[in-house]
Amino acid sequence: MIVSRFAPSPTGGLHLGHAWSAIQAHDRARDHGGQFLLRIEDTDMTRSRPEHVAGIIEDLEWLGLGWDDMAVQSERLALYDAALDRLRDDGLAYPCFCTRAEIAREVAASLHAPHGPDGPLYPGTCRAIDPATRAERMASEAFAWRLDAGEAARRAGSLSWTDELAGTMPVDPQLLGDLVLKGKDRPASYHLAVVVDDAAQGVTHVVRGRDIMPSTHAQRLLQAVLALPEPIYHHHPLVLDAESNRLAKRHGAPTLADWRSEGMDGVALANRLRAGDLPGGFDFDG
Ligand code: GLU
């Protein structure tokens, strides 16, 4: 049975791009008698707001999308801690004491700082700290937990994922470097929580925007070292605005809540999107 999910972060209002993503995830399951899950990804406690959770629920109902189950990540932190314990026990996670400023200084001082899709990668400063110093610093300093991506890649061997649109995608296990698993003030990182939940909820099909594809490299690596099942992926084209920007609040994209309050018919909008007909001023990126 197909199990798909829509997994928004409640850090703002949903816009047309989110609607398009939710519709595709919903229909992927519903067209085959499967299950569609809603997952609220609120482990970024400083940016997540309860009013956005309420807004997401209203938006999905307005679009005529019903879900079979809803999970809230902030209520599932024990699961992410258990996965982190496992990585730690396997020697694949290390504490990182660096501040943002220290990382920036280190990167600036390095001639060959490796870069990922979002800028310079963590230079691995804390990976080499000796065990005694590490234990001492853990007793007195704040720290995050990072993945030792090099060691994880060595143990995982060659990986790929199956993408319904892009085909077989080889994994670059170092694309995001030694990513954070648990932050100094974030109980679980997006990557850790997402792979734990996709497995725990039996998600078979991860339907989400193409913009998240770089994360899939890191997520496949985590799945491999945590011995989690591998879902099928479907990274769909994005909705762009008239200036060919991805929709985002900073570009002034209208929210679904704006349209809802203007009396627009959400189910009619969803059906237009299904027919490939976008409202004026919007386009697909391919
Ligand atoms: N929570 C992520 C976001 O809102 C999406 C995660 C996913 O679909 O894997 O961008």
Domains present along the chain, CATH in parentheses: 3-75+237-284 (3.40.50.620), 79-182 (3.90.800.10)
Q: Which atom of ligand 1 is nearest to the CA of 5?
A: 8
Report the pLDDT value the prediction gives residue 223, as an integer from 0 to 100: 98
DSSP state of 16: H
- In this predicted structure, the answer to whether residue 251 has a pLDDT above a threshold of 80 is no
**pLDDT digits over 98-157, tens only?**
999 999 999 998 878 889 998 899 999 999 999 999 999 999 999 999 999 999 999 999
Q: Over the range 123-150, which residues count as b (16 or more CB within 10 Å of their CB) and which as e?
A: bbebbebeeeebeeeeeeeebbbbbbbe
What's the rounded Cα separation, in Å, for the pair 48 and 257?
17
Counting Cα atoms < 13 Å in the Cβ hemisphere of 48 gives 18
Please indicate whether residue 18, judged by its CB atom, sits closer than 6 Å to ligand 1: no
3-state DSSP assignment of residue 263? coil
Round the average pLDDT of the chain to a whole number and report it. 95
Mean per-residue pLDDT, 40-54? 97
Residues 6+ apart with CB under 8 A from 278: 16, 239, 272, 284
Mean per-residue pLDDT, 197-206? 98
What's the rounded Cα separation, in Å, for the pair 271 and 232?
25
CA 6 to ligand 1 center in whole angstroms: 8
Please indicate whether residue 7, judged by its CB atom, sits closer than 6 Å to ligand 1: yes
- In this predicted structure, the answer to whether residue 250 has a pLDDT above a threshold of 70 is no
Residues 6+ apart with CB under 8 A from 274: 23, 27
Report the pLDDT value the prediction gives residue 33, as an integer from 0 to 100: 95
Would you name the residues annotated as active-site residues?
Answer: 249
Mean per-residue pLDDT, 80-87? 98
Please indicate whether residue 10, judged by its CB atom, sits closer than 6 Å to ligand 1: no
More confident residue, 280 or 75: 75
Please indicate whether residue 194, judged by its CB atom, sits closer than 6 Å to ligand 1: yes
The pTM of the whole model exceeds 0.85: yes
Do the Cβ atoms of 284 and 278 come closer than 8 Å? yes
Tokens of 69: 């189950």
CA 52 to ligand 1 center in whole angstroms: 15
Report the pLDDT value the prediction gives residue 207, as an integer from 0 to 100: 98
Alpha-carbon dihedral angle through residues 182, 183, 186, 192, given to the nearest 10 degrees: -30
Residues 6+ apart with CB under 8 A from 209: 17, 21, 235, 236, 237, 238
What's the rounded Cα separation, in Å, for the pair 90 and 86?
6
What's the rounded Cα separation, in Å, for the pair 252 and 26?
27
CA 7 to ligand 1 center in whole angstroms: 5
Name the residue of 38, 194, 206 whose CB sits within 8 Å of the most ligand 1 atoms, as the mutation to test its pocket: 194
